[in-house]
């Protein structure tokens, strides 16, 4: 897929809570095709201590409006600068990068997300819905305030939640939710993105039940386009780049101890 470098303009910065924002970014021409699961390398301007770009998933894309959305969790200087962007600011993106979630062979799919890993699942869900598949979401957070932008997911599919403190949905981690405790899962394809331990339990569950499971990995990236070989992960084929062969991998392809 052809990659682009473009300056987007921030048309909205919607703050979800003390650490999450959703940026709506406007392009001045038609968006190129973007697949669910792909990401952008975002240039952070005016950061005294940032140097490289920061990889951020495509949270949503609207071809009619020529807009994309990024959901950003502020954890360091780079993401905090993104979180502080205001309407009218410009943001330079290299995109769309990496592999994408595949199309399912089944109509029953489960999308499991945690933390900023929920970001790519909205766009994935929307694309599935366009194909006539109504996805089930299972979203986990520490507490109810951590469940961000849930109404957007509800527009797309059925939303199930877990919180560690029980302040919303099932108490515990995603693995404690009935959807993951059943012996007869009512879905044939699981997509997951979030903290690695979470993805590992999801992958283990899927493997046990012979369900196809795709995971989206994080990694430290310098270039995002396969040029530097910094972002490797161990797979059946040896070390491959997360930025080009991933970030989305079939869980069985990874050399995970699960």
* SS3 at position 120: helix
User: Which one of ligand FES, ligand FAD, ligand FMN, none interacts with residue 224, CB within 5 to 8 A by kind?
Assistant: ligand FES
d(CA 24, CA 208): 39
Q: Which of 169, 247 has the CB closer to ligand FES? A: 247
Q: Which of 83, 77, 144, 142 is nearest to 115 (CA)?
A: 142
Site for its own copies contains 45 (CB under 8 A): yes
Give the range of 23-31, 68-76, 147-155, 204-212 binding ligand FAD by CB under 6 A: 68-76
Residue nearer to ligand FMN on the CB measure, 171 or 239: 239
Bridge partners (DSSP) of residue 23 are 13, 70
142, HSE (Cβ side, Cα atoms, 13 Å): 5
Which one of other proteins, ligand FAD, its own copies, none is in contact with 188 (Cβ closer than 5 to 8 A by kind)? none
229 binds ligand FES (CB under 6 A): yes
Neighbouring C-alpha atoms within 13 Å toward the C-beta of 111? 31
Where do we find the tokens 């949503």? Answer: 60
Q: Among 47-55, 128-136, 153-161, 172-180, which window interacts with its own copies (CB under 8 A)?
A: 47-55
The binder of 45, among ligand FMN, other proteins, its own copies, none, by C-beta within 5 to 8 A per type, is: its own copies
**Distances, alpha carbon 127 to alpha carbons 26, 52, 73, 81, 139, in Å:** 20, 31, 23, 30, 18
Write the interaction track for ligand FAD spanning residues 190-219; mark x where CB under 6 A is met and - where it is not: ----------------------------xx
* Number of residues that make up the chain: 258
Least distance (Å) between residue 230 CB and ligand FMN: 6
- Among residues 41 and 214, whose Cβ is nearest to ligand FES? 41
Is residue 243 involved in binding ligand FES (CB under 6 A)?
Answer: yes
CA atoms within 13 A on the CB side of 199: 25
Residue 134 structure tokens: 């109504």
Q: Which of 13, 21, 54, 189 binds ligand FAD (CB under 6 A)?
A: 54
The residues binding ligand FES (CB under 6 A) are: 221-224, 226-231, 241, 243
């Amino acid at each position: 897929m052809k990659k682009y470098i473009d300056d987007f303009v921030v048309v909205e910065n919607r703050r979800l809570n003390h650490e999450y924002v959703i940026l709506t970014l406007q392009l001045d021409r038609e968006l190129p095709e973007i697949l669910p699961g792909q990401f952008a390398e975002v240039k952070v301007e005016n950061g005294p201590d940032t140097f490289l770009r920061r990889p951020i998933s495509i949270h949503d894309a609207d071809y009619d409006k020529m807009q994309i959305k990024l959901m950003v969790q502020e954890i360091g200087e780079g993401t905090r600068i993104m979180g502080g962007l205001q309407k009218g600011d410009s943001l330079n993106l290299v995109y769309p990068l990496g592999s994408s979630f595949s199309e399912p062979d089944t109509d029953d799919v489960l999308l499991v997300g945690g933390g900023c890993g929920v970001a790519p699942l909205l766009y994935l869900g929307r694309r599935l819905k366009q194909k006539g598949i109504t996805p089930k979401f299972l979203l986990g957070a520490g507490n109810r305030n951590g469940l961000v932008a849930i109404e957007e997911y509800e527009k797309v599919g059925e939303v199930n939640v877990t919180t560690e403190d029980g302040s919303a949905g099932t108490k515990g981690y995603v693995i404690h939710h009935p959807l993951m405790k059943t012996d007869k899962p009512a879905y044939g394809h699981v997509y997951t993105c979030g903290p690695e331990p979470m993805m590992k339990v999801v992958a283990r569950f899927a493997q046990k039940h012979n369900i196809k499971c795709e995971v989206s990995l994080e990694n430290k990236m310098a270039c995002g386009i396969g040029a530097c070989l910094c972002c490797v992960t161990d797979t059946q084929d040896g070390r491959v780049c997360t930025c080009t062969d991933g970030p989305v991998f079939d869980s069985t392809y990874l050399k995970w101890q699960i």
